[in-house]
C-alpha cells in the first residue's frame, strides 16, 4: 500500500466530464489499495474570471479580498471532485487548505507556507477516504485566508507530499510532461524523461508555467521527487529530481519564454549611494518580485545620473508604478516609463557549467533573426535576454532549432 499525492490542474478538472475522468483515475489507485490525497486547481478559466471581475471594479483591489475571492475557485472543484468520487462508489472527503492544516504567512496573494499539520488528512485517510484538498490556498495563524501565487496548487501538492512523507507525488496536467520548450509554441519540442531540480527551477522562473516556481523550490529543499504527466493518457511523464552526472552531457535542456514580464525604466536617477537601495527596498516591501536589473550611468549636464531598468510581473505593474511614484519626487527621478511589450527568452541546462561559447551562439542566432537584445542576465546554468514581445515566439523556435534540433 502506497501513499500517493496527485495534483490535477485547471484543464484536468475543466468540466464535469473531466472531473469524472479524475474520479475514475483516482478510483483505480484506490482499487490497488493505495491511499490517495488529491489536490485540485480551480476549473480552467475560473481564477482568471474572478480576477477580471475584481479588475472591473478597480485596478488595485485589496489583496486580502482577492484571496477571499480566488480561494472560492478551488473550493468548487474539491466539492465536485468529492461528489464525482462518491458517484463512483469511492469514499471521499474534501478539505479547504485551512482544514488540511496548511498554515501560511500573511502576505496576501503570494503567501508562503510556514508549516503543515496534516493530522486531519491522516485521520481521514485512515478512515478509508480519498482526501481532496483545495490547491493554492492556506490560512494564517490568525485565521485569514491566503493564496500561494498563481499556479500555487503545484505547491500545495508538493508541500503535502513532503508533510505526509508520501511515497509518490504526481502532477497531472494537460501535457505529457516537461518538454524542451512549450509544445504549444515549439511543435518540435521533445518530452524529457527526467530533469534536474535546478533546471526545472530556472525554466519555471523564466516562464515555463508547467510548474510553479515556488513548488520546485520547495521540492528541491525537501527532496520531493515528483512526476509531471498527463491526466488524459497513460504515457510516462517527466521525473523531476536531484541532478545526476549523466545530465551534464546536455548543454541546453530547455528553452522558455516569459510573456508576463514588464520592464520599468527610471530615467535620470541621481547617481548617489543609497538610491537603488531605497527603490528596491520599497518594491520589496510591497511584495513585488523584481527579476532583472540593469543600470547605465551617464553624465547629463555634468552631474552623474543613472537610467535604471528592472523587470517584474505584469500583474505587479500598477503596484510598482504607485511605489515608484511615491519616491519619484524625493529621490529626484526625472521620468518613469513602463514597457509591457517585452518577452524574456531563456536557455537552461546544467551542462552550461562545463561548456563555453553558449552565450555567443545564442546571440548569433538572435542576430540572424534580427532580434535586438534589450537586457541580458546569466546564472551558472541559464542565459536570459529581454527582447521585443512580438519576436518572442519566432526567436524561441530559432533557438530551439539551433540548440536542440
Ligand atoms: P495546469 O492547469 O495543469 O497547472 P498549466 O497550464 O499551469 O497546467 O501548465 C501546463 C502548460 O504549460 C502546458 O499546457 C504548456 O502549454 C505549458 N508549458 C510551458 N512550458 C512548458 C514545457 N517546457 N513543457 C511542458 N509544458 C509547458
Ligand atoms: N487556480 C490557481 C491559478 O489559476 C492555482 C492553480 O491553478 O494552480 O493560478
Ligand atoms: Mg499550473
Residue nearest to atom 21 of ligand 1 (CA): 182
Handedness of CA 344, 347, 349, 355 (dihedral sign): negative
Which ligand has the shortest distance to the CA of 9? Answer: 1
Topology, domain 261-339: Alpha-Beta Plaits (3.30.70)
Segments of 278-353 assigned E as strands: 290-298, 305-313, 335-339, 342-348
Q: From the CB of 150, is ligand 2 less than 6 Å away?
A: yes
Q: 338-359: per-residue pLDDT in tens?
A: 999 999 999 999 999 999 999 9
319 lines ligand 2 (CB under 6 A): no
DSSP-assigned beta bridge partners for residue 265: 309, 337
Q: pLDDT by residue (tens digit) across 243-266?
A: 998 888 999 999 999 999 999 999
Task: Convert the pLDDT of each residue in 308-321 to its tens digit.
Answer: 999 999 999 999 99
Closest approach atom of ligand 1 to CA 153: 4
Residue 299 in this model has a pLDDT that exceeds 80:
no
Query: Ligand 1, closest atom to CA 212?
Result: 7
- Confidence band for 300, pLDDT divided at 50, 70 and 90: low
Q: How far is the CA of 172 from the centre of ligand 3 (A)?
A: 10
Q: What's the rounded Cα separation, in Å, for the pair 201 and 211?
A: 9
Tell me what pLDDT residue 234 has.
Answer: 96
Give the separation between CA 2 and CA 20, rounded to whole angstroms: 23
Residue nearest to atom 8 of ligand 2 (CA): 151
Pair 223, 242: CB distance under 8 Å: yes
Q: Which ligand has the nearest atom to the CA of 42?
A: 2
Pairwise CA distance, residues 183 & 208, whole Å: 11
pLDDT band at 303 (very low <50, low <70, confident <90, very high): confident
272 or 163, higher pLDDT: 163
268 CB less than 6 Å from ligand 2? Answer: no
Residue 117 has pLDDT above 70, yes or no: yes
All 3 cell numbers of residue 184?
504549444
| Nearest Cα residue to 339 out of 298, 379, 299, 375 | 375
Pocket test for ligand 2, best of 14, 18, 48, 152 (most atoms within 8 A of CB): 152
- The topology under which CATH files domain 3-174 is Carbamate kinase (3.40.1160)
Antiparallel, parallel or unpaired: β 290-298 and 305-313: antiparallel
Question: What is the structure's pLDDT at 302?
Answer: 72
Q: Is 73 in the pocket of ligand 2 (CB under 6 A)?
A: yes
Q: What is the mean pLDDT of the chain?
A: 96
pLDDT at 301 over 80: no
- What tens digit of pLDDT does each residue of 19-45 get? 999 999 999 999 999 999 999 999 999
Choose which residue among 52, 151, 154, 212 to substitute to test ligand 2 binding: the one with the highest number of ligand atoms within 8 A of its C-beta. 151
Cβ contact 204:213 at 8 Å:
yes
What is the tens place of the pLDDT at every residue in 323-336?
999 999 999 999 99
For the Cβ of 153 lying below 6 angstroms from any atom of ligand 2, the answer is yes
CA distance 325 to 335: 10
Q: How far apart are CA 181 and CA 213, in angstroms?
A: 16
pLDDT at 197: 97
Determine the 3-state secondary structure of 76 from DSSP.
helix
Pocket of ligand 1 (CB under 6 A): 9-12, 41, 151, 173-175, 178-179, 181-182, 184, 208-210, 254
Please report, for the chain, the start and end positions of each structural domain, with discontinuous segments joined by +. 3-174, 261-339, 342-403
**Order of strands across the sheet with 254-258?**
254-258, 342-348, 382-388, 375-379
342-403 adopts what CATH topology? VC0802-like (3.30.2130)
Q: pTM, whole model, 2 decimals?
A: 0.93
Q: Which of 66, 9, 11, 17 is nearest to 40 (CA)?
A: 9
Amino acid at each position: 500500500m502506497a501513499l500517493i499525492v496527485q495534483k490535477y490542474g485547471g484543464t484536468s478538472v475543466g468540466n464535469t466530464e473531466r472531473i469524472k475522468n479524475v474520479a475514475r483515475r483516482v478510483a483505480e489507485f484506490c482499487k490497488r489499495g493505495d491511499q490517495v490525497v488529491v489536490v485540485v486547481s480551480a476549473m480552467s478559466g475560473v481564477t482568471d474570471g474572478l480576477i477580471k471581475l475584481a479588475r472591473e471594479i478597480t485596478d488595485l483591489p485589496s489583496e486580502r479580498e482577492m484571496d477571499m475571492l480566488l480561494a472560492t475557485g478551488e473550493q468548487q472543484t474539491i466539492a465536485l471532485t468529492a461528489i464525482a468520487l462518491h458517484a463512483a462508489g469511492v469514499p471521499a472527503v474534501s478539505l479547504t487548505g485551512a482544514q488540511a492544516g496548511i498554515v501560511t504567512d500573511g502576505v496576501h496573494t503570494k503567501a508562503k507556507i510556514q508549516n503543515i499539520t496534516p493530522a486531519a488528512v491522516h485521520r481521514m485517510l485512515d478512515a478509508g477516504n480519498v482526501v481532496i484538498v483545495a490547491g493554492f490556498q492556506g490560512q494564517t495563524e490568525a485565521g485569514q485566508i491566503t493564496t500561494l501565487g498563481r499556479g500555487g496548487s503545484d505547491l500545495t501538492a508538493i508541500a503535502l507530499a513532503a508533510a505526509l512523507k508520501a511515497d509518490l507525488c504526481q502532477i497531472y496536467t494537460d501535457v505529457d510532461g516537461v518538454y524542451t520548450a512549450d509544445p504549444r509554441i515549439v511543435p518540435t519540442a521533445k518530452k524529457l524523461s527526467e530533469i534536474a531540480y535546478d533546471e526545472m527551477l530556472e525554466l519555471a522562473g523564466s516562464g515555463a508555467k508547467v510548474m510553479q516556481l515556488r513548488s520546485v523550490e520547495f521540492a528541491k529543499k525537501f527532496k520531493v521527487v515528483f512526476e509531471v504527466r498527463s491526466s488524459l493518457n497513460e504515457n510516462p511523464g517527466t521525473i523531476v529530481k536531484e541532478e545526476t552526472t549523466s545530465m551534464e552531457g546536455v548543454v541546453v535542456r530547455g528553452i522558455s519564454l516569459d510573456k508576463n514580464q514588464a520592464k520599468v525604466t527610471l530615467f535620470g536617477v541621481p547617481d548617489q549611494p543609497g538610491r537603488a537601495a531605497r527603490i528596491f527596498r520599497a518594491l520589496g516591501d510591497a511584495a513585488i518580485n523584481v527579476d532583472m536589473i540593469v543600470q547605465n550611468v551617464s553624465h547629463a549636464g555634468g552631474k552623474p545620473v543613472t537610467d535604471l531598468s528592472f523587470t517584474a510581473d505584469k500583474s505587479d505593474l500598477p503596484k510598482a508604478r504607485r511605489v515608484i511614484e511615491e519616491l519619484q519626487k524625493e529621490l529626484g527621478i526625472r521620468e518613469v516609463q513602463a514597457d509591457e511589450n517585452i518577452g524574456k527568452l531563456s536557455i537552461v541546462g546544467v551542462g552550461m557549467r562545463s561548456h563555453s561559447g553558449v552565450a555567443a551562439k545564442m546571440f548569433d542566432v538572435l542576430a540572424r533573426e534580427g532580434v535586438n537584445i534589450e537586457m541580458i542576465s546569466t546564472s551558472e546554468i541559464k542565459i536570459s535576454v529581454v527582447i521585443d514581445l512580438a519576436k518572442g515566439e519566432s526567436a524561441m523556435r530559432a533557438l530551439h532549432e539551433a540548440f536542440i534540433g
